[in-house]
Structure 1
Amino acid sequence: MIGAGTGALAAAARLAVAGHRVTVYERTETYGGALRRVERDGFAFDTGPALLHLPAVYRDLFVKTGKRQLEDVVELVQVDPSSRHVFADGTRVSLPNASRAGVVTALDEALGAGAGQRWGDFLVRAREAWDRTRRPLLEEPLWPNWQVLAGREPYPAVPHKRLLRTRRAATLAEIGAWELRDERLAALLASHALAYGLDPRTAPASAAVLPYLEHAFGTWYVRGGLRELARALYERCLERRVEFVFGAEVTRIVTRDGRAVGVELAGEPGSAGGTVVEADHVVAGVHPARLSALTDRPLDAEGDVRAGQEAAGSGRFTLLLALRGGREAGAAHRTVVHAPDADAEADFLASPGGDGPPSPTVTVLRPDDPALRPDDAHEAVTVTAVVPAGADWADEQTVRRWTELLLEAAGTAVPGLRERLLWHEAHTPRQTAQETGAPRGEVPAPALAAGGGRFLRPANSTRLPGLHRVGGWAHPGGGLPHAGMSGALVAGLIVEGPDFRGSQ
């Protein structure tokens, strides 16, 4: 196993239970991939994902790999309200967790009569898209005839008459404009795509499954932060006698007779070569560019889904804020402060430059968790925005500019933020690249149907027998639920063989 990210840990635990001897080689000194934690002066912060959706993926993993279930090893807390939104015109709304009726009522009260019903009707159509795509995109290996997924739009868009033509929404932005018919509802919809670095103007209508997933299965927080989920996965692997070698750089995938038969590890400085470790199967949880560098042959044939077909290049800029003063009553766990100019934000992410970044959409996380703060007279807050991964994140001026933009936006969600600030620390795509190995610190999005296949991820199996791909850069794409399903798919393909038809 190359890499100790979430998908790799999920695969390792399942393979070990199936009787395989599993060794994980991780080039850094810890596990978890993007699920990292920063601790300082009694404060603790997640620097990667901070909320969990579709926890059933990890409940299934723990049920099938040991006696203790997920809730026995971490404390899951439903976040309610699921989110609070501050729109560009100053309108605010709090959306209850996993309650369609509650969301409809809240939107009607905040945005005007009819707004909630339009969103509720959209969720019904999004559910149909979810039902059509859930199995092929989450629970089954990528179909050999994946073109069926690429060309068929599963979202049942409402016919829209424009001039003399009748059209149906093909992108998320068109759903917002033609079906939701409110700039604030459109911003609410777009924020779910933007959170994964997707441009709502080009993301297919099938991306409607992203807000539906959150609505249907709820928003969950792991007490102590999501790093605790990574710890629980790691400890489950140890219980199943998975071996870990940290600080181990894999430099080559060893092949023999047209099959992957092991890995070569970096040798000591000045040595002619490294140690070769033989294996029956090699599972790589790394970025496609990194994987290509480890092999001496193409891993995909002409006509296969290729890595990086969709517009890529988005990363995360996160500010870790240590605040004096306790969290006020009624504070929301998650607040999304929407950009004043959504088009300007999308234009900049697609083509950085010009006069510099506009004010971004910002997510402010304020968990009410004593484990993250020195005492109740302080608060730990994280503020995150999607940014171009290719910017010069070693440049102090770039970091300062984004820091100021995020602080300005976060001030609308955190009363007295500037006066309460003890210190702050920036976590940029540069740190993400160091932690995950992804070039420029890019973050993968979930696989989506339609869009000509540009939003699919390469299959877990490769054209090199014995080599499999796992994690966010492989089918079914990025996000914690998808990474967990990736691990289940890889384990199934290895244990049951190429005839494996998917998780049950």
Structure 2
Amino acid sequence: MGRIAVIGAGMGAMAAAARLAVAGHQVAVYERTETYGGALRRFERDGFAFDTGPGLLPLPAVWRDLFVKTGKEPLEACVELVQVDPAARHVFADGTEAVLPNASRAGAVSALDDALGAGAGERWGDFLVRAREAWDRTRRPLLEEPLWADWRVLAEREPYPSVPHKRLLRTRRAATLAEVGAWELRDPRLAALLESHALAYGLDPRTAPAAAAVLPYLDHAFGTWYVRGGMRELARAVHERCVARRVAFHFGAEVSGVLEKDGRAAGVELADGTVVEADTVVGVAPWRSGGASEVYGADAVAPAGEAGVPGRVVVCLALRGGRPAGTAHRTVVHAQDRDAELALFGPGLPPERPTVHVNRPDDPALRPDDGHESVVLTATVPSQAHHDWSAPGAADAFADRMVAAAERAVPGLHERVLWREVRTPLHTRQETGAEFGGVPAPALAAAEGRLLRPANSTAVPGLFGVGGWSHPGGGLPHAGMSGALVAGLIVEGPEFRGSQ
């Protein structure tokens, strides 16, 4: 079988590497940093530990499939998966709170009726039924198959079955997620609940297509999961599976270019001048090693400009005092001024009072003892392309605003802080190589193809793209799917059409 060079040790790249090694290929991974996992990192200090990337795992079946296909030990034998219940507590702008159960439509309907008033739950439940239809229409072409050559079909068709809305003597259907919230949910708190799923992925609900309804549906239908010991444990398990399948890892090995011979990929060149020959190259964002048109061709989905992709600020809080019994694992504190917050997508201004996700896992592995608590705050922000996160005081000033927002859900939070660590898009850039520290969103249909990602195959024979900047986009489940698609294309060839 062939020699395969994989650029980067992110989750999608490792998923591809493990599958390719099992297929009999000789696989070597070249990672410019000193560890694996891409954005799935951990910060540790004084007995505290924090997930600085994704804090929860949607759609764990993707990673279960990887472990089934690459060895005898299932995922649950390598990590402990815990279903998070409740799925989330929401604190809305007016102070109203709703606690939503995990993966229960009836439970969500009841909880929203109790919290927001009769009828609110029914409207959300009806929305979830329509979101399921959008999911059924797009799941296979967007997640389980290589990107269609006729990708414009996906770009032009809106899969979400919007409810007809009469406006100014005209009947219209929602084209954006914001219109779904305003016209179908008809409650600013339900609209905030809907939009928070898009915002968490760096999507502007005013321009995100109605097809983004699949994002809340994903959590609802498949549940929200946590990996005991921290999400970094998933990266550890995948890395160990790769090593067990004799994938070779080279850390501190930055790839400076892809070699070509006779019109096809022939290996990689490292920053220190070392040349590594290979029959196939798998790269994260392969256009970074050459012009996009040369990599993909004129009729392909072009790489989205990374400068326009928002990033995240993560605040790790070491707290004195134990975690109160009954505390929700995840709380979403919604912004009190929606329009001001969405300015992050225009002028690129960090919000004064952002929507903040508060993760408070009940996990002894993340704290020194039961008299302390490890908490992570996350907010979507402009990337380094639009806001200078290296400016003196910029990171701490925004972290102060995040803590102030989180205090609406955690009274007295500021007084409990022993110390904190603030991480900005600059850290994301260092850890993942993203040009401005942006975090890619999942691929979505409609919107004229703006939210599709370049195909895993390229115009250069033997060169493939994997990970969040390639099909099917960002997110932990999507990374695993990306790895499966790349492996299928290499092992079975261009005729590969996805798992059945």
State the 1:311 CA deviation: 8.3
Q: Is there any run of 5+ residues in structure 1 with no aligned partner, and where?
A: 268-273
Q: Could you tell me which of 32, 39, 42 is aligned with 1:34?
A: 39
Match of 1:275 in 2: 274
Provide closer, same or farther for how the CA distance between residues 310 and 130 of structure 1 changes in structure 2, counting only shifts above 3 A: farther
Match of 2:331 in 1: 335
Q: Could you tell me which of 155, 166, 170 is aligned with 2:171?
A: 166
Matched, 1:99 2:104: yes
CA contact (8 A) 2:256 2:289 kept: no
Match of 2:490 in 1: 494
CA contact (8 A) 1:169 1:175 kept: yes
Residue 84 of structure 1 aligns to a residue in which SS?
Answer: strand
Q: Could you tell me which of 426, 432, 447 is aligned with 2:428?
A: 432
Q: Could you tell me which of 129, 138, 149 is aligned with 1:133?
A: 138
Residue 489 of structure 1 aligns to a residue in which SS?
Answer: helix
State the 1:290 CA deviation: 2.5
Residue 89 of structure 2 aligns to a residue in which SS?
Answer: strand
Q: For 1:279, give the aligned amino acid.
A: A
Residue deviations 1:368-388 (CA, integer Å, cap 9, x gap) = 000000000000000010000
Match of 2:67 in 1: 62
Match of 2:340 in 1: 344
Match of 1:292 in 2: 290
Q: Could you tell me which of 348, 362, 366 is aligned with 2:360?
A: 366
Match of 1:382 in 2: 376
Residue 62 of structure 1 aligns to a residue in which SS?
Answer: helix
| CA distance in 1: counterparts of 2:344 and 2:248, whole angstroms | 44
CA contact (8 A) 2:286 2:295 kept: no
State the 1:140 CA deviation: 0.1
Match of 1:271 in 2: none
Match of 1:477 in 2: 473
CA contact (8 A) 2:359 2:375 kept: yes
State the 1:189 CA deviation: 0.2
| CA distance in 1: counterparts of 2:269 and 2:306, whole angstroms | 32
Match of 1:50 in 2: 55
Once the two structures are superposed, the pairs formed by residues 108-127 of structure 1 within 5 Å of their partners are 108-127=113-132
Q: For 2:277, give the aligned amino acid.
A: E
CA contact (8 A) 2:307 2:438 kept: no
CA contact (8 A) 1:288 1:473 kept: no
State the 1:291 CA deviation: 3.5
State the 1:309 CA deviation: 6.0
Q: Could you tell me which of 156, 160, 185 is aligned with 2:161?
A: 156
Identical aligned residues as a percent: 72
State the 1:440 CA deviation: 1.5
In terms of mean alpha carbon deviation, does 125-134 or 393-402 score higher? 393-402
Q: TM-score, normalised by structure 2?
A: 0.97
Q: TM-score, normalised by structure 1?
A: 0.96
Q: For 2:332, give the aligned amino acid.
A: V
| CA distance in 2: counterparts of 1:429 and 1:247, whole angstroms | 21
State the 1:399 CA deviation: 1.1
Match of 1:399 in 2: 395
Match of 2:3 in 1: none
CA contact (8 A) 1:309 1:455 kept: no
Matched, 1:219 2:217: no
Q: For 1:359, give the aligned amino acid.
A: R
Residue 107 of structure 1 aligns to a residue in which SS?
Answer: helix
Provide closer, same or farther for how the CA distance between residues 310 and 290 of structure 1 changes in structure 2, counting only shifts above 3 A: closer
CA contact (8 A) 1:171 1:200 kept: yes
State the 1:350 CA deviation: 2.4
State the 1:310 CA deviation: 9.1
Q: Is there any run of 5+ residues in structure 2 with no aligned partner, and where?
A: 1-5
Q: Could you tell me which of 410, 414, 418 is aligned with 1:418?
A: 414
State the 1:501 CA deviation: 0.6
| CA distance in 2: counterparts of 1:311 and 1:149, whole angstroms | 24
Matched, 1:144 2:140: no
| CA distance in 1: counterparts of 2:413 and 2:230, whole angstroms | 22
After the TM superposition, which parts of structure 1 deviate over 4 Å for at least 4 consecutive aligned residues? Answer: none
State the 1:415 CA deviation: 3.1
Residue 33 of structure 1 aligns to a residue in which SS?
Answer: coil
Once the two structures are superposed, the pairs formed by residues 295-314 of structure 1 within 5 Å of their partners are 298-308=294-304, 312-314=308-310
State the 1:7 CA deviation: 0.2
Provide closer, same or farther for how the CA distance between residues 474 and 9 of structure 1 changes in structure 2, counting only shifts above 3 A: same
Once the two structures are superposed, the pairs formed by residues 200-279 of structure 1 within 5 Å of their partners are 200-267=205-272, 274-279=273-278
Once the two structures are superposed, the pairs formed by residues 440-459 of structure 1 within 5 Å of their partners are 440-459=436-455
CA contact (8 A) 2:307 2:436 kept: no
CA contact (8 A) 1:86 1:92 kept: yes
